[in-house]
Amino acid sequence: MELQALKNRFGIIGNAPALNYALSVAERVASTDLTVFISGESGVGKEVFSQIIHALSNRKHNPLIAVNCGAIPEGTIDSELFGHEKGAFTGATDKRKGYFETVEGGTIFLDEIGEMPIGTQARLLRLLQNGEFIKVGSSVVQKTNVRVIAATNVDLPD
């Protein structure tokens, strides 16, 4: 897609070389099924880049969901992402699908990934490596076909 057409489609204004380079990278990775990590300061449009990658991908006809990992309490994030079984914890009166199950075939954008609890990071790593996850309160391994795009404004190596 021509660069200006891409900017127009997604409401991007600007012509800085770094912006144009980032857009060209987003366009190139869109056709792959690679996990993508986006870093940058707050307000630079990381979520827009996830929308661009999804819209230009083979998954564009499937769902895209954005999850703010910093806004989900530590005690419930595993249930939100991976789902839970009935009775898995107090208040779990029904079985629930998590985002990785409901977005099957699509893309999940994990914003503020640096705020994700370490235990959840370990579960996410298994999903990224094998496409497998286990619901909270279950011992059954489930498979999923979801593309993950993660973003943070935190300097993770620090």
**CA–CA distance, 56 with 59 (Å, rounded to integer):** 8
**CA distances for 26 relative to 88, 100, 113, 148, angstroms:** 39, 22, 19, 14
CATH number of 33-152: 3.40.50.300
With beta carbons less than 8 A apart as the criterion, state whether 77 and 96 touch: no
Enter the tokens of residue 108: 């999940």
Query: Of 63, 48, 39, 54, which Cα lies nearest the Cα of 112?
Result: 39
- Written as tens digits, the pLDDT of the chain (158 aa) is 799 999 999 999 999 999 999 999 999 999 999 999 999 988 889 999 999 999 999 999 999 999 999 999 988 999 999 998 877 677 777 888 999 999 999 999 999 999 999 999 999 999 999 999 999 888 899 999 999 999 999 888 77
Residue matched to tokens 């954005």 = 66
| Residue 88 pLDDT | 66
Instruction: Report the DSSP beta bridge partners of residue 142.
Output: 133
DSSP letter at 97 equals -
For the chain, give every domain's residue range.
33-152
* pLDDT score, position 111: 96
